[in-house]
Amino acid sequence: DSGVTQTPKHLITATGQRVTLRCSPRSGDLSVYWYQQSLDQGLQFLIQYYNGEERAKGNILERFSAQQFPDLHSELNLSSLELGDSALYFCASSNRVNYGYTFGSGTRLTVV
Amino acid sequence: AQRVTQPEKLLSVFKGAPVELKCNYSYSGSPELFWYVQYSRQRLQLLLRHISRESIKGFTADLNKGETSFHLKKPFAQEEDSAMYYCALKYGWNSGGYQKVTFGTGTKLQVIP
């Protein structure tokens, strides 16, 4: 167990629907990052939060949004889902010490 | 702009052969570089940090600022090394959580028995 918890592990939903992915960072980590990993595009950075505030945005679609709550867990909301949104969504956390990321196990989203 | 380049999408080597996974970066500041490994679409795991100069599972990586490279090496490949390997560049400020990380596109290492 890496300490970063992501739920659910698998999600199958229909096009046009909305889903919420949840991430609990490792204890003590203030930063949360969301990544999308698809077969054809590799690992794509979506968004970063630090202590509840958005810090950086990557290739995140307008249909997607995220937030980090006071208890530091984060949610990634995906709406108006399309087939192309099917991917693995990873959450990672880090702290202010000079270290790398700790990744969660990911949520595998399948849009049908 | 900050960029990480992993030129090989796939690298196939025979068991026991040496491995070198290439990573080049572009960054005007002082870089922090990492290697992550992902086995069979599982979560990414931190393999190496350049600042620690450690060897994990027989892998080493040396930062070459002149060539802006951080290649991952192992003298003798093992079947269990088969995985996706991502090079990553961390940059930005240490305080306030403003650090960002850019990942390369990854190299799939396939070790042939």
Contact list in A for residue B105 (CB cut-off 8 A) is 42-43
pLDDT at position B49 over 70: yes
Burial class, A76, CB count within 10 angstroms (exposed 0-12 / middle 13-18 / buried 19+): buried
Q: Assign B96 a pLDDT band (cuts: 50, 70, 90).
A: low
Q: How far apart are CA B31 and CA B33, in angstroms?
A: 6
pLDDT of residue B91: 77
Q: Do B45 and A55 touch (CB under 8 A)?
A: no
- The CA-CA-CA angle for residues B90, B93, B99, to 5°, reads 40
pLDDT of residue B21: 97
pLDDT at position A101 over 90: no
Over pLDDT 70: what percentage of chain A? 93
Burial class, B23, CB count within 10 angstroms (exposed 0-12 / middle 13-18 / buried 19+): buried
Residue type (1 letter), A8: P
Contact list in B for residue A102 (CB cut-off 8 A) is 46
Q: Assign B19 a pLDDT band (cuts: 50, 70, 90).
A: very high
Is residue A89 a contact partner of residue A35, using CB atoms and an 8 Å limit? yes
Query: What average pLDDT does chain A have?
Result: 91
pLDDT at position B111 over 70: yes
Higher pLDDT pick, B110 / B1: B110
Query: What average pLDDT does chain B have?
Result: 88
Q: Do A50 and B100 touch (CB under 8 A)?
A: no
pLDDT of residue A8: 96
Contact list in A for residue B99 (CB cut-off 8 A) is 31, 94
| Structural tokens at position A24 | 């609990």
| Structural tokens at position B26 | 């572009």
pLDDT at position A1 over 80: no
Give the mean model confidence (pLDDT) for residues A33-59.
87
Residue type (1 letter), A24: S
Over pLDDT 90: what percentage of chain B? 60
Interface check for A59 against chain B (CB to CB < 8 A): the answer is: no
**What residue has token string 């202590």?**
A51
Interface check for A2 against chain B (CB to CB < 8 A): the answer is: yes
pLDDT of residue A44: 87
Instruction: Note the pLDDT tens digit of each residue in B51-94.
Output: 777 788 899 998 998 999 999 999 999 999 999 999 999 876 65
Instruction: Note the pLDDT tens digit of each residue in A54-97.
Output: 988 888 999 999 999 999 999 999 999 999 999 999 999 987 65
pLDDT of residue A58: 85
Interface check for A89 against chain B (CB to CB < 8 A): the answer is: no
Residue type (1 letter), A74: S
pLDDT at position A5 over 80: yes
β pairing state of B24-26 and B60-61: unpaired
pLDDT of residue B41: 73
